[in-house]
């Protein structure tokens, strides 16, 4: 378009504002109002471009700006709004009184983004990071020295299959179930995968709506696991092979791991109803959920909260803190 530069580059000051400049700008705007930003520096006696004045005013000098540390409620709101709006910092700022888009953007990049990454959540999609979500690692951490090759879920299932948290969790459950019964986990996991595949296109990821589809609600579907076919029943494979031995302690730990999830799953199988995890691996927080607000503010507490968003329901007695 060939537009002129926003200001004459020659003779105009750049860099940090001095208190004298702040005073000049504040006094002028409080007297005359913002008006035309291009004319403000000249009228206020500032050697700055209008753009610089506008930024200084909107991001720092405005009287309604809330300074200081973000509260946990604000941080939670930022995360939720970002999951809906994406990097629309001004839109997010509009919903957080007293906070500027620049401030929120900085806070996101320096704190929230890192925290989400640290807790295994993709800061862009707000979904669990699949590259980190190696259930095999969790299982190994949980049950100790089992041959890594027999716990390689990603190898067994393929990366795409891991896109479904429910399936992922069920596969992990199947692996533990197999180990408990001295089976090769690949057999049972394959059965689970076949049932998923044969159930049609039910492998819909349970995920947060993408930023560019802001009003899509999270999809949570029955994963399609059917127990109608006896030969495909997971239970039918119990006790076949005895090549994968766990010691007594490991079996005990597997029992703890399987406690809730397996019980629920077996109930579904026995009643011939659809299985839906009682503790979804990925549980996107509803935007309007006031229950998600936690009145804590330490880094550790926030980390814990963030990891709770998608954690596996693993008993506290198991030492998996290194992984988490």
Partner DNA sequence: AAGTCACGCAACCGCTCGCGC
Partner DNA sequence: GGCGCGAGCGGTTGCGTGACT
Nearer Cβ to DNA, position 68 or 200? Answer: 68
Nearer Cβ to DNA, position 103 or 166? Answer: 103
Q: Give min distance, CB of 128 to DNA, in A.
A: 22
Which residue has 């296109």 as its token pair? 201
Read out DSSP for 139-190? HHHHH-S--GGGG-HHHHH-TGGGG-HHHHHHHHHHHHHHHHTT--HHHHHH
Nearer Cβ to DNA, position 110 or 242? Answer: 110
CA 285, distance to chain mean position in Å, is 9
- Work out whether 140 is an interface residue with DNA (CB under 7 A): no
- Work out whether 71 is an interface residue with DNA (CB under 7 A): no
Residue window 19-58: x/- pattern of binding to DNA, with contact defined by CB under 7 A: ----------------xxxx---------x-xxx-xxx-x
Neighbours of 165 (CB within 10 A): 24
Residue window 92-131: x/- pattern of binding to DNA, with contact defined by CB under 7 A: ---------xxx-xxx-xxx--x-----------------
- Work out whether 63 is an interface residue with DNA (CB under 7 A): no
- Work out whether 90 is an interface residue with DNA (CB under 7 A): yes
Sequence-distant (≥ 6) Cβ neighbours of residue 191 within 8 angstroms: 174, 232, 234, 237
- Work out whether 298 is an interface residue with DNA (CB under 7 A): no
As a whole number of angstroms, the distance between CA 113 and CA 98 comes to: 21
Closest of 143, 227, 140, 151 to residue 185, by C-alpha: 151
As a whole number of angstroms, the distance between CA 222 and CA 110 comes to: 38
As a whole number of angstroms, the distance between CA 116 and CA 128 comes to: 9
Q: Select the residue interacting with DNA from 11, 15, 200, 230 (CB under 7 A).
A: 15
Interface residues toward DNA, by CB under 7 A: 1-4, 6, 13-17, 35-38, 48, 50-52, 54-56, 58-60, 87-91, 101-103, 105-107, 109-111, 114
């Amino acid at each position: 378009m060939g537009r002129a530069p926003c200001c004459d580059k020659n003779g105009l000051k750049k860099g940090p504002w001095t208190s004298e400049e702040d005073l000049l700008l504040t006094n002028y705007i409080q007297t005359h109002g913002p008006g035309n930003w291009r004319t403000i520096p000249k009228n206020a006696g500032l050697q700055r471009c209008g753009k610089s004045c506008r930024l200084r005013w909107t991001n720092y000098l405005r009287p309604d700006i809330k300074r200081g540390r973000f509260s946990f409620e604000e941080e939670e709101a930022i995360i939720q709004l970002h999951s809906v709006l994406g990097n629309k910092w001004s839109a997010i700022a509009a919903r957080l009184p007293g906070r500027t888009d620049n401030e929120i953007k900085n806070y996101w990049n320096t704190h929230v983004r890192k925290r989400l990454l640290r807790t295994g959540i993709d800061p862009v999609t707000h979904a669990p990071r699949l590259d980190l979500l190696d259930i095999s690692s969790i299982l190994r951490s949980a049950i100790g020295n089992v041959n890594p090759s027999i716990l390689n879920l990603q190898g067994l299932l393929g990366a795409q299959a891991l896109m479904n948290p429910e399936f992922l969790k069920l596969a992990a459950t199947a692996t533990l179930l197999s180990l408990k019964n001295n089976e090769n986990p690949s057999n049972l996991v394959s059965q689970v995968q076949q049932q998923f595949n044969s159930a049609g296109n039910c492998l819909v990821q349970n995920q947060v709506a993408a930023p560019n589809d802001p009003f899509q609600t999270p999809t949570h579907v029955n994963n399609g696991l059917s127990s109608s076919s006896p030969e495909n029943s997971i239970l039918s494979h119990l006790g076949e092979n005895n090549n994968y031995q766990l010691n007594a302690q490991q079996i005990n730990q597997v029992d703890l791991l399987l406690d809730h999830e397996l019980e629920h799953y077996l109930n579904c199988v026995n009643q011939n109803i659809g299985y839906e995890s009682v503790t979804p691996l990925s549980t996107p927080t509803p935007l309007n959920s006031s229950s998600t607000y936690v009145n804590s503010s330490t880094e550790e507490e926030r980390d814990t909260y963030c990891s709770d968003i998608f954690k596996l329901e693993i008993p506290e007695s198991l030492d998996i803190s290194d992984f988490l």
